Structure 1
């Protein structure tokens, strides 16, 4: 197994590393989780008593209408318990749980309190907080009993040789009596039994932290599952964010197209019109000069056509619509400055939107290879796996293209946001319909990989960048398969 080694420049020997199973009894994590279980019992009893009382009183008085505000107040109180529990989980368990969606009221004139009560009673998050307050109490009793019993027994037996001498001196007995019925008794008094007790205590001391972690893990699941935002609410927030990304991306593309038309083809066509006007005026006076101007205008027409063709290809190439990803990506690869091998293995064509995003992703990544990677060769692979379309671009360049912490689109894809760079129409580097992705480790300079990751995230895709310094670089784009 390969292991990374970092040389020690201080000249001091490194201390030996203690195994995790041996350091667990004294680790801060174990003590924090133990404190979480101990404190959970009184808080659980308090939550249970107040929530069940509010629920019982509110349900009993609901026929008199007084129960409705009592129920609403009880649910609001349970949401307050949730605030305490999330803070406790963050401090002792190291688990950060986002607050659930707030109670949304549609306020109308003269209906403020009633609107709040109705919204509170309709809120699923409020009822999940009530469920937590009810379910947490019996679990807190069990977890407290197991954790405290194991903890005290383990340390009492492990340290028994240190305090066993106090029993005959102050209690008048030779040792701790484990069993006695008047005729038989088991007393920890001989050296052999004391040593065995210490050994059993040592085993329990090493095992107890893992039992505590398992109990704390259940607490963590309860907090995350019942006191955090629901999956539906999280999905709504994600879709709203993705919609904003799509709108911003579309607006950026429109601005880019307008800028390219204004600065490129439009300016060239305007100059062409002026040249043709001058040639028309000189046609009768100086035919040779007019012919030269027409010849120059012909060259300008070719350049304008090339720019328009590159611009149209960057928006959505006709070859992609007509022949699919294989031909379109081969066309992009042929304009790259390094040799590129393209392999496309798809049973059928995906949806047009997914094809377009895959084409954009490869165009951006090959543009990086041409301009920044310093590579000698590259490869593009596209395949279908389950319900996902995977696109992987690999090059043997200098590496170091993994962006720093920033906008995250997947578990391992961290990118930085920043200003985008206008694309060029250099035919050797391939067209693009998005910002230039320049690898960087400076969060202030921005990275087109961030915009590409956002574009993929808008359709539930993700971007994974593996680019160690010195290379090679492998960028994998994962998209949903939609046919």
Structure 2
């Protein structure tokens, strides 16, 4: 598993989930709150419509991102909305198609869930590697001046204890990679489920 390239693509997916989740959530909530606040005027209508179009684009990008990085195959063709703004009738038709497209609303749900998922993924990633690196570095720094390492209630002050701690760190690292691979695959499943397809794992990371 540490030597499987798919593991590192999964980690890249988890790292991207945090900034993308924040960006999506900020963009969509700002657009909707502004547009809905201006619905009493005609200015709010195009803002809401543009925000929903952005949501469709986010869904399409997330689908491709899951396929690229997670190596999963999301069955079912992506929903496409024909856009036409050449006349008032065409613009109204476009608005109707956007509002009635199921992926518009599942895309909004995806934006909210991606925000939460990104925070959880980033927290798990940083915590797992911070703990693992701290333990793995014990043999090098356990006796450094002004540095005290503790594992739970135990103070590490001998080489034997430091080596044992590094062994624990290796176990934590391998276990964390297993867990993080699962979190990444769940992200792909979530994307596929919300965008109307089923997910087939085409290259899950192996040991």
The correspondence for 1:160, drawn from 138, 144, 150, is: 138
1:109 and 1:157 map into 2 onto residues whose CA distance is 65
Cα distance in structure 2, aligned partners of 1:125 and 1:61: 24
Query: Which residue of 2 is the match for residue 121 of structure 1?
Result: 99
Bigger-Rg structure (1/2): 1
| 8 Å CA contact retained: 1:78, 1:126 | yes
Deviations 1:338-377 (A, max 9, x none): xxxxxxxxxxxxxxxxxxxxxxxxxxxxxxxxxxxxxxxx
In 2, Cα distance between equivalents of 1:40 and 1:150: 16
Alignment of 1:346-385 (within 5 A): none
The answer to whether the 8 A contact 2:17-2:117 is kept is no
Provide, for residues 205-261 of structure 1, a one-character-per-residue CA deviation record: whole Å limited to 9, x for no partner: 2211210122112201111012345x9xxxxxxxxxxxxxxxxxxxxxxxxxxxxxx
Residue 108 of structure 1 deviates from its aligned partner by 9.6
Given candidates 7, 13, 36, the residue that maps to 1:59 is 36
**TM-superposed deviation, 1:96:** 3.0
Task: Give CA-to-partner distance per residue, 1:26-74, whole Å, 9 cap, x none.
Answer: 3212111111101110010000111111121222222323322211111
Give the C-alpha shift of residue 122 in structure 1: 1.8
Identify the residue that residue 101 of structure 1 maps to in structure 2: 79
CA contact under 8 A between 1:99 and 1:227: conserved in structure 2? Answer: no
Task: Provide the rounded CA distance (Å) in 2 between the counterparts of 1:86 and 1:112.
Answer: 28
Structure 1: runs of 5 or more not aligned: 1-23, 180-184, 232-483
Q: SS at the partner of 1:87?
A: helix
Alignment pair present for 1:192 and 2:160: yes
The structure with the largest helix share of the pair is: 2
Distance in 2 between residues matched to 1:207 and 1:70, nearest whole Å? 46
2:119 alignment partner, one of 129, 134, 141: 141
Q: Is the 8 A contact 2:85 2:91 kept in 1?
A: no
Is the Cα contact below 8 Å between 1:86 and 1:96 reproduced in 2? no
**Alpha-carbon separation, structure 2, partners of 1:78 and 1:116:** 15
Separation (CA, whole Å) in 1 of partners of 2:146 and 2:84: 73
The equivalences for 1:406-445 within 5 A come to none
Partner Cα separation in structure 2 for residue 118 and residue 209 of structure 1: 45
Q: Within the alignment, does 1:225 sit opposite 2:198 as a pair? A: no
In 1, the alpha carbon distance for the partners of 2:97 and 2:46 equals: 12
Alignment of 1:25-424 (within 5 A): 25-97=2-74, 98-104=76-82, 110-161=88-139, 163-164=140-141, 168=144, 172-177=145-150, 187-228=155-196
- 1:126-160, Cα deviation, whole Å (9 max, x unpaired): 11111111111012101111122112322431343
CA distance in 1, matches of 2:83, 2:176: 48
In structure 2, relative to structure 1, the CA distance for the partners of 1:96 and 1:149 (3 Å cut) is same
Q: CA deviation at 1:194?
A: 0.6
**SS of aligned partner of 1:25:** coil
Deviation at 1:106, TM superposition (A): 9.2
State the Cα distance separating 1:111 from its structure 2 match: 1.4
CA distance in 1, matches of 2:118, 2:83: 34
Contact 1:25/1:205 (8 A) holds in 2: no
The count of residues paired between Structure 1 and Structure 2 equals 197
TM-score normalised per structure 2: 0.82
Separation in structure 1 between the aligned mates of residue 88 and residue 147 of structure 2, nearest angstrom: 78
1:75 touches 1:120 (CA, 8 Å); kept in 2?
A: yes
The answer for unaligned runs of 5 or more in structure 2 is: 199-207
Q: Distance in 2 between matches of 1:200 and 1:109?
A: 67
Q: Is the 8 A contact 2:138 2:166 kept in 1?
A: yes
